[in-house]
Amino acid sequence: MPVHTIILMAAVGVQGLGVDGDTCADPIAVDEGITSYDTTNHTDSEYDLYSECTLMGGLHKDIWFSYHARNEGVVTLSTCDPDSFDTSIIVYQATDAGCDGLEYLACSGDAAGNSDCQPYHSVVEFPAQPDCQYLIRVGGWQEDSFGSGMLTLNNNDQDIPQYCPTDVNEDQVTNVMDILAIISQWGTCEDCPEDLDEDGQVGVNDLLQVIAGWGPCPLQGSWEVLINSPVAPFLHHDSIDVIGDTIWICNVSGEIWKSTDAGDSWLLVANQPGTSFRTISFSDELHGFVGNLGPGSWIGHTTDTNPLYVTDDGGLTWTAVPLSAIDGPIPDGICGIQAVDADTIHGAGRYAGEAYFVSSTDGGATWVSRDLNDSYWTLVDIHFETPLRGYITGSNLQGRASLVYTEDGGVTWVTRKTNQSGHYWKMGFASDLFGYAVCSGGYDIDKWIQTYDGGATWTERSFTDGFHANGIGFLNDQVGWIGGYPSHTLQTWNGGETWEPIQIDLVYGDVINKFLKVSEDEMYAVGNRVYRYSPYSPGRQDRPTEPAFDNDRCSIKAITRGTSSTITYTVPEDGHVVMNVFIFGGLLHDRPVDEFHRAGTYSLELDTPDDAPELYASIQTGDYRKWTKFVRLPE
């Protein structure tokens, strides 16, 4: 078993005695930069080892640090040191309870391999708030894991990022004004923005870079939370469609919501607890279509056997498509649906088994269903360029991710791309030529694919390790995002050459399942809430700010030993509590808790198999939402 170090961040309590940094009460203050340490003479702290990350150790001979954040930003912690032992990271924020109130924030087991670091070093990133206090705890995987190391801390300011170095005057466009700025600084210039090639001289090379970068900068906007949007009952809302100022979202808890004022207010237009609404699409402001997962999928509480619903009043009322209106085998469920035009609607499903393709050419009055189970095991997302030409993501009978294509409206299909991930999940096109899809699960979990020739050829790319992707969306061929688990979002501004973590929703986390491009400079996304990306403008500062709400008052943690698991959870206020225990690809336990609780801390025991992959638990009560990954410890 590899050696690991664990870093915990928690609240600072009273001052302790003994070796500096040996206890939570006696941390060593750190700031941005590198701090050296040695754990040889340290003792073990008696603190819960809980975290959401795999490959975490036993926190032997741990050392504590404190960090006071002076500005809002994304803090990156790293234990990279080629002469040190292996590392992992957990993050907590300080509370008034001091060392008795450790509140989990983020974690990292093993970071991606880096030849400049020791094997199994760790890197963790989390959003920091101004004037907030954090603690850092470093320990070893086993009793003989100790010694010297280095902790590197960076806090990257969350102001508008400069992804366009040739935009010298930062007006989001590279043009003649930037040329004039270069000329005005001609000559020797140390650490100035006009020195684009950083050679200490502003000259011809810098001028050539400006000319090469001519035009609008690729990233000209930012994400915002639509703060009045409903919080997802389970892990996230599942699908979204937008026409003008009207927005519709749906989720597997049987809800459909509608906004007619660009997300300022919302109306619950459907609430069917036995239905798992997975995908939604509208052909115009009145006519819409939604797919239901059906019983036997990964949502255990689904009882509704109707795979399709339609509306002709803008989503205020929904009617199940009669099974008699479906010519062919009845699909078990629908995961992806698209209204291509007023007459043509295509759908596919479902994830977690059984592959069917459905079509309507009369606006949803009648449907044709085709059984594709001889070639594919699961179908997920759908994208059609015309009524005849389109794609479906999913996996084949060998369990390999498959992107399949049709030119005849779904009568025949060919595989355009496959790999060793569990399946391709979401996909889309940002233009006629540039398309993309993302992998989910399996050996190639860190891959995404792209096309620059309208789908004739597809190229596989990597994004990052340790991220379970769901949604993917691009504004153009340079700017894009990947959403999933953990709760932050990955962003690229250079066509996927590099990805960086951002967090849009600091209250609930993002957990984005679907991105939707609505114009050349505007995107929507749906996850724990609804999010909008739009250009920077002075008017954005006038929008309402996030209301004060402490979601950390609610907590849940799950520890597995052998075949038994203990879930401990805190209910902050009297109310109805719903808990789901699940694995990606299927619920292990549907809902062990679905009842009224008084405020307080509770625990329950569950039987869990040894081989359960990526076991998670979520809790919802009132406005509080939390989820966690089970931590497996030795028996």
State how far the alpha carbon of 343 is from the alpha carbons of 137, 284, 309, 366, 500, in Å.
60, 11, 16, 11, 41
The pLDDT of residue 285:
97
The pLDDT of residue 76:
83
Write the single-letter amino acid at 278: R
State how far the alpha carbon of 165 is from the alpha carbons of 81, 193, 206, 215, 274, in Å.
31, 8, 10, 12, 52
Q: How would residue 49 be classed by pLDDT, with cut points 50, 70 and 90? A: low
Cross-strand bridge partners of residue 456: none
What backbone torsions phi and psi does residue 552 show, to the nearest 5 degrees? -70, -10
Does the pLDDT value for residue 51 go beyond 70?
no
The pLDDT of residue 547:
63
Q: DSSP string spanning 596-633?
A: EE-SEEEEEEEE--TT--SEEEEEEETTEEEEEE-EEE
The arithmetic mean of pLDDT across residues 89-105, rounded, is 77
Q: Which of 630, 628, 627, 624 is nearest to 554 (CA)?
A: 624
Q: If you classify domain 237-542 with CATH, what class do you get?
A: mainly beta
User: Rounded to whole angstroms, how far apart are CA atoms 66 and 450?
Assistant: 43
Instruction: Name every residue whose Cβ is closer than 8 Å to that of residue 134 and which is 6 or more positions away in sequence.
Output: 9, 10, 66, 67, 68, 69, 75, 91, 92, 93, 94, 128
User: Rounded to whole angstroms, how far apart are CA atoms 234 and 291?
Assistant: 18
What backbone torsions phi and psi does residue 88 show, to the nearest 5 degrees? -145, 165
User: Residues 534-558: pLDDT tens digits?
Assistant: 986 443 434 455 667 888 889 999 8
Residues 516 and 240: beta-carbon distance below 8 Å:
yes
User: Residues 562-583: pLDDT tens digits?
Assistant: 888 999 999 999 999 999 887 6
Residues 28 and 66: beta-carbon distance below 8 Å:
yes
Residues 417 and 438: beta-carbon distance below 8 Å:
no
The CATH number that domain 5-157 falls under is 2.60.120.380
| Pair of tokens at residue 314 | 């803008």
Helix (H, G, I), strand (E, B) or coil at 301: coil
HEC per residue, 197-226: CCCCEECHHHHHHHHHCCEECCCCEEEEEC
Which comes out higher in pLDDT, residue 318 or 612?
Answer: 318
User: Rounded to whole angstroms, how far apart are CA atoms 557 and 627?
Assistant: 8
- Of all residues in the chain, the percent with pLDDT exceeding 70 is 90
CB contact burial 28-60 (16+ within 10 A = b; e otherwise): bebeeeebebebeebeebebeebbbbbbbbbbb
Write the single-letter amino acid at 253: S
Q: DSSP string spanning 328-368?
A: SSPPS--SEEEE-SSS-EEEEEBTTS--EEEEESSTTSSEE
**Which element (helix H / strand E) includes 433?**
none
The arithmetic mean of pLDDT across residues 43-58, rounded, is 69
CB contact burial 543-554 (16+ within 10 A = b; e otherwise): eeeeeeeebbeb
Query: Checking DSSP bridges between strand 5-7 and strand 88-93, what pairing results, if any?
Result: parallel
The pLDDT of residue 44:
87
The pLDDT of residue 111:
67
The arithmetic mean of pLDDT across residues 44-71, rounded, is 76
User: Residues 371-427: pLDDT tens digits?
Assistant: 999 999 999 999 999 999 999 999 999 889 999 999 999 999 999 999 988 889 999
The pLDDT of residue 157:
57
What is the distance of C-alpha 52 from the center of its chain? 15
Does the pLDDT value for residue 84 go beyond 50?
yes
User: Rounded to whole angstroms, how far apart are CA atoms 533 and 510?
Assistant: 13
Which comes out higher in pLDDT, residue 55 or 408?
Answer: 408
| Pair of tokens at residue 501 | 């973590």
**Cis upstream peptide for 387 (omega within 30°):** no
The full set of domain ranges for the chain reads 5-157, 173-216, 237-542, 554-633
Q: If you classify domain 554-633 with CATH, what class do you get?
A: mainly beta
| Pair of tokens at residue 616 | 């998670």
Q: Which of 158, 210, 165 is nearest to 183 (CA)?
A: 210
Does the pLDDT value for residue 213 go beyond 50?
yes
Whose tokens are 């504590």? That residue is 64
The pLDDT of residue 14:
34
Does the pLDDT value for residue 366 go beyond 70?
yes
The pLDDT of residue 306:
97
Q: If you classify domain 173-216 with CATH, what class do you get?
A: mainly alpha
What is the distance of C-alpha 411 from the center of its chain? 35
Does the pLDDT value for residue 2 go beyond 50?
no
- Of all residues in the chain, the percent with pLDDT exceeding 90 is 49
Question: Minimum mean pLDDT among 153-162, 342-351, 544-553: which range?
Answer: 153-162
Does the pLDDT value for residue 3 go beyond 60?
no
Q: Tell me what the pLDDT averaged over the chain comes to.
A: 86
The pLDDT of residue 447:
93
Question: Minimum mean pLDDT among 21-30, 362-371, 405-414: which range?
Answer: 21-30
Does the pLDDT value for residue 627 go beyond 80?
yes
The pLDDT of residue 52:
56
User: Rounded to whole angstroms, how far apart are CA atoms 101 and 132?
Assistant: 15
Question: Minimum mean pLDDT among 27-41, 112-126, 373-387, 457-471: which range?
Answer: 112-126
Does the pLDDT value for residue 7 go beyond 50?
no
Output the furthest CA–CA distance in the chain (Å, rounded). Answer: 79
The arithmetic mean of pLDDT across residues 169-178, rounded, is 84
Most confident range, picked from 53-67, 123-137, 156-170, 234-248:
234-248
User: Residues 267-317: pLDDT tens digits?
Assistant: 999 999 999 999 999 999 999 999 999 998 877 778 999 999 999 999 999
Considering Cα of 290, then 296, then 297, then 302, what sign does the dihedral take? positive
What backbone torsions phi and psi does residue 183 show, to the nearest 5 degrees? -60, -40
The rounded radius of gyration (Å) of the Cα atoms in the chain is 26
The arithmetic mean of pLDDT across residues 318-346, rounded, is 97
Whose tokens are 């004039």? That residue is 180
User: Residues 584-618: pLDDT tens digits?
Assistant: 655 656 779 999 999 999 999 988 877 666 678 88
